[in-house]
Copies of this chain bind each other. A is one copy, B any other.
Amino acid sequence: MTADLQLAKVAGAIADAARARMLCALLDGRARTATELSISAEVSSSTTSAHLAKLTELGFLSVVRQGKHRYFQLANAQVATALEALLQLSAPPEASFSPTTPAHLRYARSCYDHLAGTVAVALHEQLLRQGWLITIENQLQPGNQHYQLSSSGTQLFIAMGVDLQPKPRSRRQYACACLDWSERKAHLGGYLGAALLEMMLAQQWLQREPDDRVLHLTRKGQIALKQHFALSLPERD
């Protein structure tokens, strides 16, 4: 199939009010059951089933069976970032000088399963600047930026309680640069990015807004970022 038809097909998967609502609901990276999604999308369960089948078949979603529930989530970070790109387009083009993304979303949010926004970009920069994260030269994939932890970085992450062991047999990238749409700079993605966010949530550095992908940087988180990463971030909210 030619590229243009593929493009139309992929866009078609998003171009429906119900499916768009489901995808937006999943943008925070959490998994949801079909019923939960049918409520978000405001359609019947049978309709939902058809939509989810379509999205799964096209590679937007992945499914996990658990008992009689089926949990759906975004299949990978690429999907999340493409959705964010499209969301940016809905804002009025060239709208004077005001940034297009709402401030609270721009500051800290979840992108699939890792952290995105101003905070994430600042953190990513600091990790590289301090030599905690090292770029791997990769001949096979010169495009994608890949990282590994330096020995000092490993120490730091262990000290903070980040789980550094990816699940066995996982084919996922260990650590890589992921484009931050609102910031237009990279933040940390891959397994390490996900593990880091998990720790930050567990430790209450960040709090999820219920049913939303906005993340709130707590006072505790601010102090911890300064302490562990020597990163001073302004307050917000």
Contact = CB atoms under 8 A, between A and B. Distances in A.
Contacts of A97: 140-141
Contacts of A143: 99, 101, 106, 118, 182-184
Contact of A90 (B3, B19, B23, B106): B3
A171 interface: yes
Interface string A1-25: 0011111111111111101110110
A83 interface: yes
Nearest to A20: B8
Nearest to A6: B90
Contacts of A118: 142-143
Nearest to A75: B93
A118 B86 CA distance: 24
B82 A94 contact: no
Interface in A73-104: 75-76, 78-79, 81-83, 85-90, 92-94, 97-99, 101
A145 B185 contact: yes
A78 B93 CA distance: 9
Given A81-B85, A179-B179, A7 B184 contact: no
A6 B88 CA distance: 10
A178 interface: yes
17 contacts: A3-B90, A4-B17, A5-B17, A5-B20, A7-B83, A11-B11, A11-B13, A78-B93, A82-B86, A82-B89, A85-B86, A98-B140, A143-B184, A144-B183, A145-B184, A176-B184, A179-B181
A186 interface: yes
Given A20-B5, A143-B101, A10 B171 contact: no
Contact of A92 (B17, B59, B82, B98): B59
Given A3-B87, A177-B184, 4 more contacts: A9-B90, A13-B15, A75-B93, A118-B143
